[in-house]
Amino acid sequence: MLENVNEKCAVVGIFGHKEASKLAYFSLHALQHRGQEAAGISSSDGEKLHTIKKRGLVMRVFDEAKLNTLSGTSAIGHTRYSTAGDDSILDAQPVFARYDLGEMAIVHNGNLTNAEEVRNALIEKGAIFQTFMDTENLIHLIAKSEQKKLIDRIIDAVQRIEGAFSLVFLSRTKMFAMRDRHGFRPLSLGRLPNGGYIVASETCAFDLVGAEFIRDVAPGELLIFEKDKTPISVKVFEPTPKHCIFEYVYFARPDSKVFGQSVYQTRKDMGKELARIKPIEADVVIPVPDGGVPSAIGYAQESGIPYEMGIMRNHYIGRTFIEPTQEMRDLKVKMKLSPMTDIIKGKRVIVIDDSIVRGTTSRRIIRMLKEAGASEVHMRVSSPPTTDPCFYGVDTPNKENLIAANMSTQEICDYIEADSLAYLDEASLLRSVNAEGDNYCTACFTGKYII
State in angstroms the smallest separation of the CB of 17 from ligand AMP: 33
Minimum CB separation of residue 360 from ligand AMP in Å reads 4
**CA pair distance 220, 238, nearest whole angstrom:** 6
CA angle 175, 139, 133 (to 5 degrees): 110
Binding-site member from 361, 428, 432, 439 for ligand AMP (CB under 6 A): 361
9 is annotated as an active-site residue: yes
Distance CA 236, CA 154 (A): 10
CA-based diameter of the chain, in Å?
73
Contact segment (CB under 6 A) with ligand AMP among 23-31, 227-235, 307-315, 394-402 equals: 394-402
Q: Which is nearer to ligand AMP, 37 or 136 (CB)?
A: 37
**Is the Cβ of residue 120 or residue 408 nearer to ligand AMP in the bound state?**
408
| CB neighbour list of residue 285: distance below 8 Å, 6 or more residues apart | 296, 299, 300, 303, 305, 306, 307, 308, 349, 350, 352
Using CB under 6 A, which of 203, 353, 382, 423 touches ligand AMP? Answer: 353
Q: Please list every residue from 37 through 96 that binds ligand AMP, using CB under 6 A.
A: none
- Is residue 140 within 8 A of residue 122, CB to CB? The reply is yes
- The residue (of 33 and 347) whose beta carbon lies closer to ligand AMP is 33
CA distances (Å), origin 165, targets 14, 195, 219, 364: 18, 27, 10, 35
Select from 97-105, 206-214, 253-261, 393-401 the region that touches ligand AMP (CB under 6 A): 393-401
> Beta strand pairing status for 212-216 and 188-191?
antiparallel
Instruction: Count residues near ligand AMP (CB under 6 A).
Output: 16
- Considering only residues 245 through 264, tell me which ones interact with ligand AMP, judged by CB under 6 A: 250
CB 424 within 8 A of CB 277: yes
Residue from the set 103, 180, 354, 388 that interacts with ligand AMP by CB under 6 A: 354
Does residue 359 interact with ligand AMP by CB under 6 A?
yes
The distance of closest approach from Cβ of residue 249 to ligand AMP in the complex, given in angstroms and rounded to an integer, is 8
For ligand AMP, the closer of residues 239 and 397 by Cβ is 397
End-to-end CA distance of the chain: 18
Q: Is 412 left (phi over 0), alpha (psi -120 to 50) or beta?
A: alpha
> Pattern of binders to ligand AMP over 196-235, x per CB under 6 A?
----------------------------------------
Q: Per rule CB under 6 A, is residue 396 in the interface with ligand AMP?
A: yes
Burial class (CB in 10 A: 0-12, 13-18, 19+), 110: buried
Angle in degrees, CA 422, 425, 429, rounded to 5: 125
Measured from the CB of residue 148, what is the shortest distance to ligand AMP in angstroms?
42
H-type alpha helices, 305-390: 326-336, 341-344, 360-371
User: Which span (21-29, 133-141, 152-160, 354-362) binds ligand AMP, by CB under 6 A?
Assistant: 354-362
User: Does 355 engage in binding with ligand AMP (CB under 6 A)?
Assistant: yes
The span of 161-169, 202-210, 358-366, 417-425 binding ligand AMP (CB under 6 A) equals 358-366
Q: Does 288 interact with ligand AMP (rule: CB under 6 A)? A: yes
In whole angstroms, the minimum distance from the beta carbon of 264 to ligand AMP comes to 15
Residues 6+ apart with CB under 8 A from 407: 415
Q: Which three-class secondary structure state does DSSP give residue 49?
A: strand
Instruction: Single out the residue of 356, 379, 418, 433 in contact with ligand AMP (rule: CB under 6 A).
Output: 356
Residue 197: burial class (beta carbons within 10 Å; 0-12, 13-18, 19+):
buried
For residue 395, state whether it binds ligand AMP (rule: CB under 6 A): yes
At 273, give phi and psi (nearest 5°). Answer: -60, -45
Q: Which residues bind ligand AMP (CB under 6 A)?
A: 250, 288, 291, 353-362, 394-396
| Catalytic center residues | 9
